[in-house]
Amino acid sequence: MDVSTYLAEGGTDIYCDLLVPRRVPVEVVFESPTIIAFWHSRPTHEYHFVVAPKRHVADIRSPDTDAIWADVLSALKAVLDLIPVTAAGGRVITNCGRFQQSKHLHFHVVGGRQLSS
């Protein structure tokens, strides 16, 4: 099943249901026992990665985040290190509440030139 079909059928957590168990292909760039990071399937920038905990955590405000912060920061650093210095740095972005399309904590790590839409 692809992500579009999953969402059209009412799926709400592509991370737990599809991405972490690799039911859809992802190009993994970092993995630990608790965190997975991969290239975004529809990048907005030359370098666009997603970093997410493997177990379900709703969003950044969840009390469940306390146990994984060190792992999250380590993964974010490793992924930021994949963006060349010549790409002028990187950004880490997360959303919560009504701004969060997928109800699973995840971070977008972007860098390089913005791609046209």
Query: Pick from 45, 42, 37: which is nearest to 105 by CA?
Result: 37
Active-site residue, selected from the candidate residues 45, 104, 106, 108: 106
Gap between the Cα atoms of 97 and 101, Å rounded: 9
Residue 106 appears among annotated catalytic residues: yes
End-to-end CA distance of the chain: 25
Q: List active site positions.
A: 106
